[in-house]
Amino acid sequence: MPTTRRYTLTISCPDRSGIIAAVSGFIARHNGWIVEASYHTDLETQRFFMRQEIRADSLPFGLAEFHTQFSGLAGEFDMSWRISDSAQKKRAVILVSKQDHCLNDLLHRWRSGELEVEIPCVISNHEDLRGFVEWHGIPFHCVPTQGKTGQDKAAAFAEIARQFDAEHGDIMVLARFMQIVPPDLCARYAGRIINIHHSFLPSFVGAKPYHQAFQRGVKLIGATCHYVSDELDAGPIIEQDTMRIDHGDTVEDMVRYGKDIEKAVLARGLRYHVEDRVLVCGNKTVVFR
């Protein structure tokens, strides 16, 4: 992340002539200094996507006045838009079960300053990682889900949602949280829950994807960071990566290799999200790296 305070403006709207000129002209009229700009048109939907970073100290007003001043232009072009302040770190609530490799990687990046977020708490359905999390000075909450009936699981996820809201969470990160998020939470936090799935989606959804891949004799394994939707492992994809394997690799080898891919893919996907680099287009994403 840059050290100079910046506002990040993201826009999605029907494509037409003059959008870039209108937005850039608005910023220029207020002596705004654009330091990064990205644009894309989705030809299938004819929808336009824009991301601009503006030096905060170049504008004569803050975000509240920006909203007031920009709303007329946004209405003219039928824009869905938002603007964020790099000085306000997003609050990432991490959910995890027993496997700690993704959690460990995220906490390392957070402690080192590489991942610019606040982590108000970690929530798990097991007690196993309490000591590890609390060693980092982060509150740990255990909300058991194993052995629960459907009604009990609904109550458990309601408690997770309550804690997320109480912590004013911006993004819920499923760092190998091995539970299916119920549809009502998927809808309530649409675009605000990201998951790491240990396969190169859309291949091998659901449980034990490495075992599925081994049975199919694949030559590539991978991991996928995606937004969570009410269809299992089918939400908009943010980031993916793969590695080559061969006939001599066992399931255990694939699991071991895959952990490295999972860590990197989740970290990149989360960073793209908190830097407002991801815009959703139907069940796809535009990612301005």
pLDDT tens-digit series, residues 135-190:
999 999 999 987 766 678 899 999 999 999 999 999 999 999 999 999 999 999 99
- Which phi and psi (to 5°) does residue 32 adopt? -70, 145
DSSP classification of residue 116: -
- Which phi and psi (to 5°) does residue 236 adopt? -55, 130
* In the chain, where the domains are located: 6-85, 90-287
Question: Of the listed 233, 246, 249, 253, which one is catalytic?
Answer: 233
pLDDT tens-digit series, residues 95-116:
999 999 999 999 999 999 999 9
- For the purposes of burial, counting CB atoms within 10 Å of the CB of 95, is it exposed (0-12), middle (13-18) or buried (19 or more)? buried
Architecture of domain 90-287: 3-Layer(aba) Sandwich (3.40)
Superfamily of domain 6-85: ACT domain (3.30.70.260)
Over residues 15-37, mean pLDDT? 98
Helix (H) or strand (E) holding 215: helix 209-216
Report the C-alpha gap between 265 and 288 in whole angstroms. Answer: 16
pLDDT tens-digit series, residues 197-243:
999 999 999 889 999 999 999 999 999 999 999 999 999 999 999 99
Report the C-alpha gap between 172 and 159 in whole angstroms. Answer: 14
Rounded to the nearest 10 degrees, what angle do helices 101-112 and 251-274 cross at? 40
Of the pLDDT bands very low, low, confident and very high (cuts 50, 70, 90), residue 32 is very high
Annotated active-site residue 100? The verdict is no
The pLDDT > 70 percentage for the chain reads 98
